[in-house]
Copies of this chain bind each other. A is one copy, B any other.
Amino acid sequence: MHEDFIKELGYLSLASRLKRISDSMIHSGRQMYKNLNVDIEPNWYLIFKLLEKHGNLSVTDIAEKLQFSHPSVITIINKMTLAGYLQSEPCPTDGRRQWITLTQKAKKMLPEYQKLWVAGTKGIENMLKDTNFLTLLDHLEQELSQQSFMERTLNEFNNGTK
């Protein structure tokens, strides 16, 4: 086994490490869909489940709820529309907005996909069930939203020179 330098760096490389883990899981998810011949992509579940919950939403609504930029949402929605899962219609009361809704194909396929997502959730749960990992993520995200990584670093940097 080779040296794992990112692990060795501890807190310093936290962001790199979180990126490594998420990249690996997303990659594995993409491969799974491909192997099963399911024509969806790793992050589409977010849109599926969001529209399942809310019925219809605008691009901006979706971006806010996912904390994505709106161009990212547009890119995902365009692909899902091309794949026949979504349709858009102009909002009747506001000409700027688009109402995004699930198509019949999406509603038909959702129960099947839902089984996969439940299985994925269980797989992760098995690894982490005796831990407080999600609570720690809540904590970390809340801390970072109160004061950014840059602000924290600069504070420590300036303390060091006092």
Closest B residue to A49 using CB positions = B9
Assuming the contacts A22-B18, A116-B157, asked whether A134 and B65 have C-beta atoms less than 8 A apart, the reply is no
Does A128 belong to the interface (CB within 8 Å)? yes
Establish whether residues B31 and A150, one from each chain, have CB atoms under 8 Å apart when the complex forms. Answer: yes
Residue picked from A4, A32, A67, A149, most chain B C-beta under 10 Å: A149
Establish whether residues A50 and B5, one from each chain, have CB atoms under 8 Å apart when the complex forms. Answer: yes
Does A82 belong to the interface (CB within 8 Å)? no
Interface size on A, residues (CB 8 A): 74
Rounded to whole angstroms, the CA-CA distance of A12 and B14 in the bound complex is: 22
Residues of the B chain whose Cβ atoms lie less than 8 Å from the Cβ of A39? none
Q: Nearest Cβ in chain B — how far from A96, in angstroms?
A: 19
Residues of the B chain whose Cβ atoms lie less than 8 Å from the Cβ of A35? 150
Within 8 A of B (CB), among A4-46: 4-7, 9-26, 28-29, 31-32, 35, 42-43, 45-46
Within 8 A of B (CB), among A119-161: 119-128, 131, 133-134, 136-141, 143-144, 148-150, 152-157, 160
